[in-house]
Amino acid sequence: MNTFWEERFRDEGRIWGDSPSRTATYAIELFKKAGVREVLVPGSGYGRNAEAFARAGFSVTGIEISTTAVNFARQNAQGIRYHHGSVSDMPFDDSVYDAICCFNVLHLFRKKERMEFLQKCRDQLKDGGVMFFAVFPEKEPGYGRGRMVEEHTFGSKPGREVHYYTTEDLVSGFQALEVLETGLMEDPEEHGAEGRHTHLLRYMYARK
């Protein structure tokens, strides 16, 4: 099993601090306008975004593969339900959700797994439900670093590959849904010893 994330959470704790990502804060506003009540957060890490959704009044379920991260998350659960396991084994419950928010997880997989993951998300979404995904764009400085393992996909750290999305690529992954909005957003992040830096992220907001 890939231990990249497990080792990071074990070594660095709540790596990106307690505040939610800017894209998740934006998703909260979109979800409020859409009348969302129940949110699924795949790849929820130690819960910083899931916690922000819960504080905003949503009923929240997270899915996370790292034992250390899910233990951190459960220490501060605030009513959030966490499933411990891989998104490739979804569904973990019989629920269908009003919304899915997924931050910096989809780009960690190769093409076949990305397609399967998105299908599993669509299956757990109500008709009329919405999905908000944030991913690395091809404009991120890391693009091209390391070994190319698939088109626009590079392995620059042992155990972590990243697929860098163009607009067309991201839209094509969501073609079974109605694209409501897509774009780029700067997302500043605390990074422990590395200090604060700003990611450029591509996001997708789409409706089933």
Nearer to ligand SAM by Cβ, of 8 and 178: the residue is 8
- Using CB under 6 A, pick the residue from 88, 95, 119, 198 that binds ligand SAM: 88
Distance CA 129, CA 24 (A): 17
64 neighbors 95 (Cβ within 8 angstroms): no
Q: Interface with ligand SAM includes 161 (CB under 6 A)? A: no
- Token pair of 174, please? 């969501």
The binder of ligand SAM chosen from 71, 86, 167, 182 (CB under 6 A)? 86
Residue 45 C-beta: closest distance to ligand SAM, Å? 3
Q: Would you say 78 or 128 has its CB closer to ligand SAM?
A: 78
| Closest CA relative to residue 78, chosen from 105, 41, 109 | 41
Please say whether the dihedral angle defined by the alpha carbons of residues 98, 65, 140 and 117, taken in this order, is positive or negative: negative
Query: Count of residues binding ligand SAM (CB under 6 A)?
Result: 20
Counting contacts by CB under 6 A, is residue 62 touching ligand SAM?
no
Indicate the Cα dihedral angle 30, 18, 16, 3, nearest 10°.
-100
Choosing from 36, 39, 48, 161, the residue that interacts with ligand SAM (CB under 6 A) is 48
CB nearer ligand SAM, residue 88 or residue 95:
88
Count CA within 13 A, CB hemisphere, residue 136.
19
| Measured distance CA(93)–CA(53) in Å, rounded | 19
- Residues of the shown chain interacting with ligand SAM in the complex, contacts defined by CB under 6 A: 5, 16, 21, 43-45, 48-49, 63-66, 69, 86-88, 103-105, 108
